[in-house]
Every structure is written in C-alpha cells, then in structure tokens.
Structure 1
Amino acid sequence: MNVGKTLFAQVMEFVPWKTLTRIIERYGGDAGVRTLGCADLFRVMAFAQLTWRESLRDIEVCLAANRGKLFHMGLKNVPARSTLSDALNLRDWRIYHALAMRLITRARVLYASEARDLDVDATVYALDSTTIDLCLSLFEWAPFRTTKAAIKMHTLLDLRGAIPAFIHVSDGKMHDVRVLDLLPIEAGAFYIMDRGYLDFARLFKLHQAGAFFVTRAKRNLNARRVYSVRPIAARASSAINASPSTASMRRRTIPSRSGASASKIPSRAKR
C-alpha cells in the first residue's frame, strides 16, 4: 500500500500558501464564506486544470471518485456544482492574479541562469495572442461573431524557461496591436512578434524606451528609407580603403581657430 503523498499534493507544495493567505486577507476574499474558501477553490481549479476536466459536473464526479484521497489533496469534501458556480462568480479575481504574478516572479528567478540557444546577452520575449471560443448564450459579455463568443488572451512569453511575463485577457474583437499600449517595456530586451503588431508609432515607443523588436513586414507595406546612419567602424574602414582620388573627393573643410578654413585629408591620401 502506498503511504506517500499523492502527485497532486507534491505539486501543491510549490504554492506559497502563506503568501496566498496574506493576499486573501488583503482583499477580504473569505469574508462571509462558509463552505469553499479561496484557497480550497484554488486547489479544486488546479486539480481540474491538471486532469483536463471540461465542466463543473466533470469536476464534481472526478473528485467524488477519489473521495478517499481528498484529505491528502488538501480538500475537506467534494464541492457541489452550485457551490463551485457561486464561488467562481463571487470570488475576487485579483486574489488569483496577485498569486499568479508572485509565482511568475519566483519561476523567472529559478530560470535566470539557464542556458539558451540564442546567443544574446539580454532578455528575449515572444508576443502573441490566442482566441478562446465560448458559448454565446452563456458568455453574452464577450461577443465575437454573430453565432459565438470569444475572448482573446495576449501573452508575453519569456523564452528563458517559457514563462509568461505578461497576460492580458480581452474580448475577441480587440486587435493584437492594441496590446502594445498596455505592455510593460523592459529596456534592453528583445521583443519578437508577428506582422499583426506592425504599427510604426507604437514600435517607435519601444525604441524610445530602449528596447529592441523583431517583426515581419506586411505584404502591402509601402515604406521608404528617409536616412541611413552607418556605424563609425564601417565609415572609418571605407575611408582607409578608399583610393587617393576618392579620398580627395571626400575632403572636408574644417574651420580653424583663426577663422580661416583648413582642409583635412586622410593620411593615406596624403601619401
């Protein structure tokens, strides 16, 4: 007979329960709650996510089938479907948002020294969105098409460890490029995105914040280069390797201290 901890209980040990308790007290999440507190609701929903449950009835039936293991899972009893429904409607979402941000912070510290395939000494993010289809009769607040509802989840993924650093949930009609207005910009970081985020005004804000971006151009893009600045090393190399005739053509006039003009010619051209 196995007397060790269940796999679910071992996973739950990584959750900072003291931090969750402080967050619940901060928002008053358990005020007036009698049967299913915020911590128990988190356990139930984590179990449903890890076991791929598809409905409240499915969660109830699966927990009832493992009634003898509920104590080892940290649960007192099997919550009814109505209790789960009321808890999901009434619990403050900010509690679980704060817990998720705390877990993300801890996970990024653990993966900070992990080696990457990219030879870049900076943080690299991948930005994209996914559309989650919903039933229009149940989710009237998230219209998407005439026959269905949907929400869109915009995710900024840290490629070191594949950890989400930013998540924004909107209705399905929100364009991807608008999330750039909400994105926290990290100076020196690289942001990789597809052509759906191509907006020169918003990308220029990333440039002003000291970040870098990599994207693809649209097929119907109409742009022209206004000016080009070559690196100093490339300019010096071209000046050294230039012929005497070319160097004399690139002669520049520099005002001297006495007010007269003097010519500055590359040393190779003088010889």
Structure 2
Amino acid sequence: MNAGQTVFRQLLQFLPRHEFNLCARRYRGEYRAKSFTAFDQFLCLAYAQLSGRESLRDIETCLNSHREKLYHIGFRGAVSRSTLADANERRDWRIFQDFGQVLIGMAQQLYRDEPLAIELKQPLFAFDSTTIDLCLTLFPWAEFRTTKAAVKMHTLIDLRGIIPTFVAVTTGKVHDVKMLDEMPVTEEAIYTMDRGYVDFARLYAIHRQGAFFVVRAKDNLRYQRLYSLPKDKEAGVRADQVIALVTQKSKKGYPERLRRVSYVDKERNKRLVFLTNHFEIGATTVADIYKQRWQVELFFKWIKQHLRIKAFYGTSINAVKSQIWVALCIYLLVAIAKRQLSIKCTLYTFLQILEVNLFEKKPISSLVAEALKQIPDTQDYNQLNLFGY
C-alpha cells in the first residue's frame, strides 16, 4: 500500500486535504500567490516541526537536499527562505487555525472512547495558559513588561485523549481569567482550573450554561457555611460544606450556593481547598478531578520540548500565530496517525522515530516495529507520558 512512499508522505495522508483547501479559500490564501501555495507553506512549517529545523535557511537547505522527493510529497512551488518568510508575514494565520479545528474534531472522534484516569461519565476538560517569552526588540507588539515581550497560549484540553479543543494566542498582558469569556462550554461537562481563574461572575456564567467547574479557592475566600456533608478523613477530606458567598461583589457575581471541599494531599502534605457547583459527586472525586488539571501542564511541557514554539521563523504576529497553529496541527496529526495505525508506544517515541526517518520509504507501522525492537523497555521512564500505554 505504501510501497515507494516516504514516511512524510504517508503521514500527510491522514490530513483532509479538501478541508485544508476550504480553509485557504475562506481567507483568500492563494491571492497573488504565483507558485508558493498555502499548502506549500504548511508543508514547509510541518517539516520544520517534525524535523526540528531552527531557521528559514535551515528549512530551505534541508528540504532542497531532497528536491527529487518534494513533488511526490505534495510540494508544488520552489522552496526558498525569502518566499517562505513572505508567506509567514502575509498569508492569514487563520487558515491554519481553522484547519487545526478540523483536526481537533478528527482527534476527538478517534479518542472519544479513551478512558479517563478517574471514574467519571461526564466529559472532563482542563483550562490553563502558558507563557512563551520573546525579545522585546524583535517583537514590540507583544509587550509584556517594561523590558520583556511574551505571548500566551490559552488552551482547553479534553482529558479524554489529551486533545487541545480550544486555543487562543494573545499577548502576555492579557489576564488568564478574561479568556473564560472566550472558552467554549459544553452542557454537563466538567471544567477544572487553577485559582487564577476564580472570578465568580464568570464561573456563574459557566453554571448557567449547564456545565460544572472545579476550581481551587483563593486563600482570602470569605463565605458563610450553610451546612456540612459527611467527610472521609481517612481519604484526606477535612471538610465538605455547602456555602454561600458573603462579600457584596462575590455574592452579586455568584448568588447561588457553592460547595467547598477541603482536602489534604498526603503525598505532598499540602492542604487544598476547592470550589465546585457539582453536588452529586464525592469529595474525593472533586480532588481527583483537580489533580487531572496537571495533564494540561504536561501538554505545555511536551510541545515546548518536542515542537518549535519557543523560537520563531518570523517576528510579526501573523508569523508567530501561524507557527504556533502549525505546531498544534502536527501534534494532532501525529496523535491521529498513532491511533489510526494502532502504534503501541508513547507519542514522544513515535515522534522521535518519525523525525529521523521522514524521507525513508518504508511503511510507518513496520518502521516503528523495527525501531521498538531496538529500544529498551525502560527508555521512556523519565519522559512526559502523553498517549502512553
């Protein structure tokens, strides 16, 4: 089936090309493009992500060293750093954002039966952000502090498969809690967040949309205990209370009852207090839900370590957002291919094998099987475990 096709080409076959063309057409991606198409640009940036290229010159040199294979992969225009730089500056980044949403839908469908780490029938999401530091001189539009520039990547993760379902890239000055206004909410789903997202008016908006939240409370929370629920001290639950907020601003923002759970994490000997509008689950389940928030932190660490989103190929906001969204597309593409091919290794190992064999002409499944025979069973013990077995 894949005889004569490079690994890169086989991987790209999991992409819905028609959907990409629709995204390009939506934002006039081919306007005044004589030869270097939107898909050519995507392929260049995808190759850079998969192979770890550090600069435009690096991308140009490495791709042109495989010139005779590029047409069969899908390239239709000549690869040059000046053409790629112009495309990164001018071609609308929303092409890649919309295509990323298409891949998100595909990945969610493939991983819909993935078991959660806890017993829970409802969809579970984690919301957080990560800051990517930039040079203020090169990126003046991304001013963060007086002498520092940065962008933030606000991400909602579907914990059934660790799939990013919503991503917003903003300047570093945008406060995390404001992004709750943009976050999509699904009825009956549970959203877990850190205490930086405690804004009672915004949490009440989630409640009114029929969804649930589990958020860590701030230390200065003022409340009135209405009554207490039974607690299991052996499991670490110190208090399980139904409360009402008492300060004027808080009570106006969230006029209904809340549940307050005080929990001691015995592993770290740390006391944590959670707030939730879910009254049907156990107090230990509330704590377990919050623990799953750590998966979004692992996701951020994974993409920063294994994809190129800390050094950029252009300095404009368009170039930065294009590169971030292509990186997310590659993450999703590798996750989709891994599930479609039933690859039995971690996502990191799979990406490593692809990285050094992009232009090999072997079926991906056979290539991975051969590589895994040479890898000791303990090689992934200290790696971030996303999509692991």
Tell me which interval the TM-score lies in, with the shorter structure as reference length: 0.7 to 0.9
Give SS of 2:170's match.
Answer: strand
Give SS of 1:30's match.
Answer: coil
Q: Which has the higher contact order (CA 8 A, sep 6+)?
A: 2
Map 1:67-216; keep pairs closer than 5 Å.
Answer: 67-76=67-76, 78-216=78-216
Map 1:241-260; keep pairs closer than 5 Å.
Answer: none
For residues 76 and 29 of structure 1, the distance between their equivalents in structure 2, rounded to whole angstroms, comes to 15
Over alpha carbons, which structure has the higher Rg? 1
Q: Runs of 5+ in structure 2 lacking a partner?
A: 231-389
For the 8 Å contact 1:108–1:161, the answer to whether it is kept is yes
For residues 147 and 85 of structure 1, the distance between their equivalents in structure 2, rounded to whole angstroms, comes to 27
Matched, 1:223 2:222: yes
Detail structure 1 runs of 4+ shifted over 6 Å in the superposition. Answer: none
For the 8 Å contact 1:63–1:78, the answer to whether it is kept is no
For the 8 Å contact 2:36–2:76, the answer to whether it is kept is no
The one-letter code sitting in structure 1 at the alignment partner of 2:210 is G
Shift of 1:230: 7.1
The one-letter code sitting in structure 1 at the alignment partner of 2:180 is L
Give SS of 2:5's match.
Answer: coil
Which residue is 2:20 aligned to? 20
Q: State the aligned residue count.
A: 229
Overall identity of the aligned pairs, in %: 49
For the 8 Å contact 1:60–1:78, the answer to whether it is kept is no
For the 8 Å contact 2:124–2:158, the answer to whether it is kept is yes
For residues 79 and 228 of structure 1, the distance between their equivalents in structure 2, rounded to whole angstroms, comes to 68
For residues 108 and 118 of structure 2, the distance between their equivalents in structure 1, rounded to whole angstroms, comes to 17
For the 8 Å contact 2:127–2:191, the answer to whether it is kept is yes
CA-to-aligned-CA distance 1:173-223 (integer Å, 9 cap, x gap): 11111111111111111111111111122111111111111121223x231
CA-to-aligned-CA distance 1:218-251 (integer Å, 9 cap, x gap): 23x23112634979xxxxxxxxxxxxxxxxxxxx
Q: What TM-score comes out, normalization by structure 1 length?
A: 0.79
Matched, 1:38 2:38: yes
Give SS of 1:34's match.
Answer: coil
The RMSD of aligned alpha carbons is: 2.0
CA-to-aligned-CA distance 1:9-67 (integer Å, 9 cap, x gap): 11111111011122222332112111211011111111111112222122112212332
For the 8 Å contact 1:155–1:164, the answer to whether it is kept is yes
Give SS of 1:183's match.
Answer: coil
The one-letter code sitting in structure 1 at the alignment partner of 2:39 is A
25-34 vs 37-46, which deviates more? 25-34
Give SS of 2:88's match.
Answer: helix
For residues 23 and 180 of structure 2, the distance between their equivalents in structure 1, rounded to whole angstroms, comes to 29
For residues 77 and 65 of structure 2, the distance between their equivalents in structure 1, rounded to whole angstroms, comes to 12
Q: What TM-score comes out, normalization by structure 2 length?
A: 0.56
Give SS of 1:227's match.
Answer: strand
The one-letter code sitting in structure 2 at the alignment partner of 1:81 is R
Give SS of 1:225's match.
Answer: strand
Which residue is 2:336 aligned to? none
For the 8 Å contact 1:125–1:192, the answer to whether it is kept is yes
For the 8 Å contact 2:36–2:77, the answer to whether it is kept is no
For the 8 Å contact 2:35–2:77, the answer to whether it is kept is no
Q: Runs of 5+ in structure 1 lacking a partner?
A: 232-271
